[in-house]
């Protein structure tokens, strides 16, 4: 039978030489394992001993366990102290050392494009007009000739707070507010701002987006004035080689109504992958202001007429920088944003 004191001395010596916690774990299992531990095996055959010998052996085994456990605990504490001392030596922080320079932020690409649009149109005499993002149904729909039950309302599936209050689906309500406030034309305004529609997020649309619309109310305005304004704006933003074309369309608040396209800047209108081989990129809608919309704004259509147009700022940014997914503007990925 192995002497408990000799086994204890052997175990303590081995523990003192251990250099890692993994070695200590192995030694603990070797000596103190419940079934196969060397200390537990000291009790084999204890039932054959006399009561006095049995008591003496049990006492010796218990003392051996306590001595080994204390040695393990002490060595673990020592190894942890050594680890922390090494960290203090190798990873010490000098609080007096100058920190890394902080990168300066910059204006978001959508804000850049919005400001460029505003600057171009302000040079033509337009003024920026802002309005509330929470609107009444009257301003968002009915004042714009989109009456209750009108099929065009399906184009603007909106977020409602109540039957009469909603998040605006476009910035056109600002035009009504402006006409009611200014009252006496001429009126030349642009209405940039955030809009909301219940669209599923995808590469070309989001449930929230930025839009800018323009409104001109004066005497003797023609569709030629509208197209000239659009052409000046597009060429100022994208270059004098770009062209604008219009296609018949329908909007309840304009009559006649048109969609306007811009020639592709990549292929020069010849057709490529970016423009789906059409040579043209769709931008937005436009038209002559419907007489009823002028009346709702407090303007007499017998004396004044006007034109309006609108498009998404994200759409203009995508065209300007050849971005193929609108979601990139809102994902806050610095790898994307730092390009602008």
Region 78-82: mean pLDDT is 86
State the pLDDT confidence band at 82, using cuts at 50, 70 and 90. confident
The predicted-structure confidence for 194-217, as pLDDT tens digits, reads as follows 999 988 888 878 899 999 999 999
What does the alpha-carbon distance between residue 286 and residue 230 come to, in Å, rounded to a whole number? Answer: 9
| Strands ordered across the beta sheet of 165-167 | 134-136, 165-167, 160-162
User: Residues 6 or more apart from 330 whose CB is under 8 A from it?
Assistant: 206
What does the alpha-carbon distance between residue 127 and residue 309 come to, in Å, rounded to a whole number? Answer: 15
3-state SS, residue 136? strand
Pick the closest to residue 68 from 3, 14, 108 (CA basis). Answer: 14
The predicted-structure confidence for 1-48, as pLDDT tens digits, reads as follows 567 788 788 878 888 888 888 888 888 887 777 777 777 777 676 677
3-state SS, residue 119? helix
> What confidence score (pLDDT) does residue 177 get?
95
3-state SS, residue 110? helix
> What confidence score (pLDDT) does residue 92 get?
67
> What confidence score (pLDDT) does residue 1 get?
57
Pick the closest to residue 316 from 171, 126, 116 (CA basis). Answer: 116
Give the domain ranges of the chain: 4-90, 109-337
The predicted-structure confidence for 100-110, as pLDDT tens digits, reads as follows 888 788 899 99
Q: Give the CA radius of gyration of the chain.
A: 40
The predicted-structure confidence for 237-291, as pLDDT tens digits, reads as follows 888 888 999 999 999 999 999 999 988 877 776 777 767 778 888 889 999 999 9
Region 289-314: mean pLDDT is 95
CB 171 within 8 A of CB 163: no
The predicted-structure confidence for 146-179, as pLDDT tens digits, reads as follows 888 777 666 668 899 998 899 999 999 999 999 9
- Out of 3.30.930.10, 3.90.1180.10, 2.40.50.100, 3.20.20.20, the CATH code matching 109-337 is 3.30.930.10
Q: SS3 letters for 33-68?
A: CCCCCCCHHHHCCHHHCCHHHHHHHHHHHHHHHHHH
Q: Is the pTM of this model over 0.85?
A: no
């Amino acid at each position: 039978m192995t002497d408990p004191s000799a086994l204890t001395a052997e175990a303590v010596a081995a523990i003192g030489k251990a250099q890692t916690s993994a070695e200590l774990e192995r030694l603990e299992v070797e000596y103190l394992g419940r079934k196969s531990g060397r200390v537990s095996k000291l009790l084999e055959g204890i039932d054959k001993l006399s009561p006095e010998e049995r008591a003496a052996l049990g006492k010796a085994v218990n003392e051996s366990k306590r001595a080994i456990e204390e040695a393990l605990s002490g060595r673990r504490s020592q190894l942890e102290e050594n680890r922390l001392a090494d960290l203090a030596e190798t990873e010490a922080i000098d609080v007096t050392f100058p920190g890394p320079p902080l990168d300066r932020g910059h204006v978001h690409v959508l804000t850049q494009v919005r400001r460029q649009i505003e600057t171009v149109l302000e040079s033509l005499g337009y003024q920026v007009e802002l309005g509330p993002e929470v609107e009444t149904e009257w301003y968002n729909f009915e004042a714009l000739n989109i009456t209750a039950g009108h099929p065009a309302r399906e184009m603007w599936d909106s977020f409602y707070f109540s039957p009469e209050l909603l998040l605006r689906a476009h910035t056109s309500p600002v035009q009504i507010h402006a006409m009611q406030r200014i009252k006496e034309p001429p009126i030349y305004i642009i209405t940039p701002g955030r809009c909301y529609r219940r669209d599923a997020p995808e590469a070309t649309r989001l449930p929230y987006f930025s839009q800018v619309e323009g409104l001109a109310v004066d005497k003797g305005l023609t569709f030629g004035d509208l197209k000239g304004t659009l052409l000046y704006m597009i060429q100022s933003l994208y270059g004098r080689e770009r062209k604008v074309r219009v296609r018949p369309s329908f909007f309840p608040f304009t009559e006649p109504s048109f969609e306007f396209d811009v020639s592709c800047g990549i292929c020069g209108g010849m057709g490529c992958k970016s423009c789906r081989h059409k040579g043209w990129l769709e931008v937005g809608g436009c038209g002559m202001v419907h007489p009823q919309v002028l009346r709702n704004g407090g303007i007499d259509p017998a004396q004044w007429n006007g034109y309006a147009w609108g498009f998404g700022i994200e759409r203009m940014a995508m065209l300007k920088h050849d971005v193929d997914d609108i979601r990139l503007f809102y994902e806050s990925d610095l790898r994307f944003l730092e390009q602008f």
